[in-house]
């Protein structure tokens, strides 16, 4: 409750709404005590006095009645009626909803059918029909507005009740021999009450608007009694000659409803946990960059990642997902990046083309050089023209990574047309060609299929075809075979390997599976807690791992083809990357840990083609260099 209130208070607009609304409600409550003119006493000699005239702060209406007094009394009435309507709708609706949800079966069916029928009506029309039957009058308008809102509550509350009705504490109450009525009152009701309150807070504004509307039409409060709606309705005849008589009540309705909406939004935001974590932000077209200095270019690799640092900023916490990674690939080469989930391997891969979701991702240091040109912080258009053209991605689960509502053809054609001005027919021919090249049977007809019509393996082939669309020089494959079964996995791997040979592609292959690395990669980098702990030729590392972590990683995954395996065999968990320990990040789980390991930064020691970040490697690197 405390956190809820402080969250609410943090929302400044909601706070203002609450304050203004409280003032209005307070004024309405104390209206009878205020020294106001009688609201219903007519004084035709003083008709239409303008605002700020003597004795009438807001002027007078067409019958010479004091507008301020009528406004406050009208506000009082409108608030009372709106609140009453909300209360009635909530009570009746919740009762119906709870009964339907609790008893289920036939009862539920019949009730919900009825509710659906009511919801098939255009809303205000139903209210009009009810008023037509009962006759005009404020009480009847209130009943009508409440009645048309009942289905809304019934449906909402039923949903919540259904989810509660089968929880253990309800079953326990049943076993204890509690009657249904008692279960509903003491077990169900307290749990659905918050939902009822939220639903009320979001609808009460509507109800005030609707009762005001009916009164405006002359179907609600009858003269001389007036709520805000009927004041507006009566003033309409003099709208052009004396607009202030219309503006005063209309503005009041606007203020009340707006404050209620502001407050209601604030309440909803404070209660919705998804908004708390900021998870509902949308990722920007390219990852945000905030780096102090740019490492100088060195060498002339095709693609070189230098000292890359990527962080996630969530509220006031900083997760160092990638903490200074160096990588290079050359044409025709395949580099594997291996590690557990959370090791930063995917974030490294996505950082290269600025595809890390941002917010919360921020690239805070390093450089990514493609043919010498730094891509980090490059203008969006530069990034875009390289993405999918020179550097292409293949992602993990192609069911969620392909657009569900476009045909394969459309998506392939788009990939081509994003970088080349070619006619659609030409692009389509290319699409079919691509599908054939990744060995999809019946490419001619498949091209018009939707992703959900394909098997997982076929979809991943489409993912690869899409990556090949513009003959890229680098392909970054982020666990492309993880979601697939073993045979399909092997097929996809050999397909990638063929492509590498035939087209001289450079491949960066992200995986957690040493079997895959063994089959495909020339070199491999092992990542742990956002950093590379060992790097070198695949063969050398496979025969003699130097870092204790690499050895353990290999021990859990003996060979290709055992399906999806996690790295359970290593005891303990990787460190949380928002508080990395000083020194070796693996120290908690290593069997050789000693004091020096935690002493401070351990450098990645280079020796020939291999490198390791450990003060006591399992093998001395110098020996293994052939």
Backbone angles phi, psi at 307, to 5 degrees: 45, 40
For residue 191, the surrounding DSSP H or E stretch is helix 189-216
Q: What is the pattern of x (binds ligand SF4, CB under 6 A) and - over residues 357-396?
A: ----------------------------------------
Q: Are 261 and 17 in contact (CB under 8 A)?
A: yes
Residues 443-482 that bind other proteins (CB under 8 A): 450, 452, 466, 469
Q: Which of 523, 452, 464 is nearest to 489 (CA)?
A: 464
Report, in Å, the least distance between residue 583 CB and ligand SF4: 7
> How many CA atoms are closer than 13 Å to the CA of 261, on its beta-carbon side?
11
Q: Cis omega before residue 49 (within 30°)?
A: no
Q: Which is nearer to other proteins, 13 or 197 (CB)?
A: 13
| Cα dihedral: 44, 50, 51, 56 (round 10) | -30
What are the structure tokens assigned to 350, written together? 């996505």
Q: What 3-state DSSP class applies to 337?
A: strand
User: Is 575:581 a contact under the CB 8 Å cutoff?
Assistant: yes
Of positions 250, 323, 548, 574, contacts ligand SF4 by CB under 6 A: 548
Pick between residue 561 and residue 599 the one whose CB is nearest to ligand SF4.
Answer: 599
Residues 177-216 that bind other proteins (CB under 8 A): 205, 209, 212-213, 216
- 260 sits near ligand SF4 (criterion: CB under 6 A): no
Segment contacting ligand SF4 by CB under 6 A, of 22-30, 409-417, 488-496, 583-591: 583-591
Residues in the chain: 626
The DSSP letter of residue 61 is: -
DSSP string, 513-559: -HHHHHHH-SEEEEEETTEEEEEEEHHHHHHS--SHHHHHHHHH--S
C-beta of 101 vs 360, nearer to other proteins: 360
Question: Could you say whether residue 440 binds ligand SF4 (CB under 6 A)?
Answer: no
Q: CA dist 477 to 202, 240, 278, 447, 456, Å?
A: 46, 69, 29, 23, 16
Which residues, 6+ apart, have CB-to-CB distance to 396 below 8 Å?
A: 478, 479, 480, 482, 483
Based on the shown chain and the rule CB under 8 A, indicate whether residue 257 belongs to the binding site for other proteins.
yes
Q: Which does 73 bind (CB under 5 to 8 A by kind): ligand SF4, other proteins, none?
A: none
Question: Among residue numbers 266 through 325, which ones bind other proteins (CB under 8 A)?
Answer: 280-283, 285
Which region, judged by CB under 8 A, interacts with other proteins, from 4-12, 351-359, 573-581, 597-605?
A: 351-359
Q: Which residues pair with 312 in a beta bridge?
A: 319, 361
Query: How far is 137 from 147, CA to CA, in rounded Å?
Result: 15
- 590 scored as a contact of ligand SF4 (CB under 6 A): yes
When the beta carbons of 188 and 248 are compared against other proteins, the nearer one is: 248
Of the listed pieces 101-109, 423-431, 559-567, 609-617, which binds ligand SF4 according to CB under 6 A? Answer: 609-617
Binding residues for ligand SF4 restricted to 158-177, rule: CB under 6 A: none
Smallest distance, ligand SF4 to C-beta of residue 400, A:
36
Among 19, 29, 254, 573, binds other proteins (CB under 8 A): 254
Residue 614 interacting partner from ligand SF4, other proteins, none (CB closer than 5 to 8 Å by kind): ligand SF4
Site for other proteins in 136-155 (CB under 8 A): 136
Tell me which stretch binds other proteins (CB under 8 A): 129-137, 187-195, 540-548, 559-567: 129-137
We find the least distance from the C-beta atom of residue 219 to other proteins, in angstroms, to be: 6
Q: Among other proteins, ligand SF4, none, what binds residue 584 when CB lies within 5 to 8 Å by partner kind?
A: ligand SF4
Count, residues near ligand SF4 per rule CB under 6 A = 12
x/- site string to other proteins, residues 369 to 398, per CB under 8 A?
A: -----------x---xxxxxx--xx-x-x-
By CB under 6 A, is residue 605 in contact with ligand SF4? no
> In the complex with ligand SF4, which residue's Cβ is closer, 410 or 534?
534
List beta partners, residue 532: 527
Question: Minimum distance from CB of 442 to ligand SF4 (Å)?
Answer: 52
Separation in Å, CA 229 to CA 247, 494, 588: 12, 74, 70
Residue 529 within binding range of ligand SF4, rule CB under 6 A? no
d(Cα 245, Cα 574) in Å, to the nearest integer? 70
Tell me which of other proteins, ligand SF4, none is bound by residue 129, counting a contact when its beta carbon lies within the kind-specific cut-off of 5 to 8 angstroms.
other proteins
CB of 117 to other proteins, least distance (A): 4
- Where b means 16+ CB within 10 Å and e means fewer, 212-229 reads bbbbbbebbbeeeebbbb
Query: CA–CA separation, 532 vs 585, rounded Å?
Result: 11
Instruction: Among 335, 597, 611, 621, indicate the residue that binds ligand SF4 (CB under 6 A).
Output: 597
For residue 39, give the nearest of 73, 3, 15 by alpha carbon.
73
Determine which residue in the list 204, 355, 440, 590 makes contact with other proteins, applying CB under 8 A.
Answer: 355
Which residues in this chain contact ligand SF4 in the complex, by CB under 6 A? 548, 584, 586-587, 590, 592-593, 597, 602, 614-616
């Amino acid at each position: 409750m405390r956190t809820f209130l402080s969250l609410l208070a943090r929302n400044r607009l909601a706070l203002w709404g609450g304050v203004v609304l409280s003032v209005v409600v307070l004024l309405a409550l104390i209206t009878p005590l205020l020294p106001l003119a009688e609201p219903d006493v007519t004084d035709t000699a003083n008709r239409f006095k303008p605002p700020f005239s003597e004795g009438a702060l807001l002027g007078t209406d067409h019958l010479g009645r004091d507008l301020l007094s009528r406004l406050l009394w009208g506000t009082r009435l409108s608030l009372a009626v709106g609140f009453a309507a909300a209360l009635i709708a909530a009570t009746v609706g919740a009762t119906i909803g709870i009964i339907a949800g609790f008893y289920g079966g036939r009862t539920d069916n019949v009730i919900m059918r009825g509710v659906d029928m009511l919801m098939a009506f255009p809303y205000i029309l139903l209210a009009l029909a009810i008023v037509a039957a009962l006759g005009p009058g404020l009480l009847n308008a209130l009943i009508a507005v409440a009645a048309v809102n009942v289905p809304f509550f019934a449906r909402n509350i039923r949903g919540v009740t259904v989810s509660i009705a089968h929880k253990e504490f309800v079953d326990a109450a049943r076993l204890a021999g509690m009657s249904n009525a008692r279960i509903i009152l003491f077990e169900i009701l307290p749990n659905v009450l918050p939902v009822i309150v939220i639903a009320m807070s979001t609808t009460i504004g509507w109800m005030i608007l609707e009762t005001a509307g009916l009164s405006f039409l002359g179907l609600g409060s009858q003269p001389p009694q007036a709520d805000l709606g009927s004041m507006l309705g009566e003033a309409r005849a003099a709208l052009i000659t004396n607009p202030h008589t219309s503006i005063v009540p209309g503005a009041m309705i606007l203020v009340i409803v707006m404050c209620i909406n502001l407050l209601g939004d604030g309440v909803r935001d404070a209660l919705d946990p998804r908004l708390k974590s900021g998870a509902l932000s949308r990722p920007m077209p390219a990852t945000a960059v905030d780096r102090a200095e740019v490492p100088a270019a060195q060498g002339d690799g095709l693609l070189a990642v230098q000292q890359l640092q990527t962080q996630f900023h969530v509220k006031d916490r900083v997760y160092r997902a990638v903490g200074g990674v160096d990588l290079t690939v050359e044409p025709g080469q395949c580099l594997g990046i291996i590690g557990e989930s959370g090791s930063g391997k995917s974030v490294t891969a996505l950082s290269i083309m600025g595809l890390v979701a941002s917010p919360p991702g921020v690239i805070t240091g390093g450089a990514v050089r493609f043919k010498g040109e730094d891509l980090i912080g490059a203008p969006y258009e530069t990034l875009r023209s390289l993405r999918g053209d020179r550097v292409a991605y293949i992602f993990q689960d192609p069911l969620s990574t392909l657009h569900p509502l476009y045909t394969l053809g459309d998506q392939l054609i788009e990939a081509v047309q994003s970088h080349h001005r070619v006619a659609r027919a030409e692009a389509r021919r290319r699409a079919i060609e691509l599908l054939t090249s990744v060995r999809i049977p019946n490419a001619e007809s498949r091209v018009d299929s939707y992703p959900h019509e394909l098997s997982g393996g076929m979809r991943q082939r489409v993912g690869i075809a899409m990556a090949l669309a513009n003959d890229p020089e680098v392909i970054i494959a982020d666990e492309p075979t993880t979601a697939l079964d073993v045979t399909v996995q092997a097929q996809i791997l050999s397909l990638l390997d063929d492509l590498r040979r035939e087209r001289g592609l450079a491949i960066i292959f992200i995986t957690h599976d040493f079997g895959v690395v063994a089959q495909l990669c020339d070199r491999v980098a092992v990542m742990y807690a956002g950093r590379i702990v060992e790097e070198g030729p695949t063969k050398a590392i496979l025969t003699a791992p130097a870092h204790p972590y690499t050895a353990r990683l290999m021990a859990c995954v003996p060979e290709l083809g055992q399906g999806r395996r996690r790295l359970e065999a290593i005891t303990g968990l990787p460190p949380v990357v928002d508080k990395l320990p000083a020194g070796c990040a693996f120290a908690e789980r290593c069997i050789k840990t000693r004091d020096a390991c935690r002493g401070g930064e351990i450098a990645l020691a280079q020796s020939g083609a291999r490198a390791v970040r450990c003060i006591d490697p399992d093998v001395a690197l110098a020996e293994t260099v052939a």
